[in-house]
Amino acid sequence: MAITCRFPNWGNSLAVRLPKKLVEEMDLSAGDEVELIPADGGRLAVCKVDRCAEFLDRIQGFNWPSPPDYRFDRDEANAR
């Protein structure tokens, strides 16, 4: 899908305004993070960034075993 748009000013920077059709197709909403990647022919590719999914993928490799004598005590953990 080819979309043409202009870059409006936002202070001293340029803003990117995404058309409604693209926003709906990518399931974007206010506060979502996107990445603009240079593509062939002077184009930009827009990719949705899902930090939560990235984090979950990274921590799956951290499967540290507990010490053999470890016992979780909820009361002790919540004591003040």
Q: Give per-residue pLDDT as tens, 21-34.
A: 989 999 998 888 88
Domain span including residue 58: 9-78
What letter represents residue 66's amino acid?
Answer: S
Residue 1: inside a domain, yes or no? Answer: no
pLDDT for 49-58, tens place per residue? 888 888 888 8
- What CATH number is associated with residue 22? 2.10.260.10
Residue 22 lies in a domain: yes
**What is the C-alpha separation between 80 and 76, in angstroms, rounded?**
9
Cα 1 to Cα 7, 21, 39, 67, distances in angstroms: 19, 10, 14, 55
pLDDT at 6 over 80: no
Report field, pTM of the whole predicted structure over 0.95: no
Q: How far is it, in rounded angstroms, from Cα 59 to Cα 54?
A: 9
CB 36 within 8 A of CB 16: yes
Domain count, the chain: 1
Distance, in Å, from the CA atom of 15 to the CA atom of 7, rounded to the nearest integer, reads 6
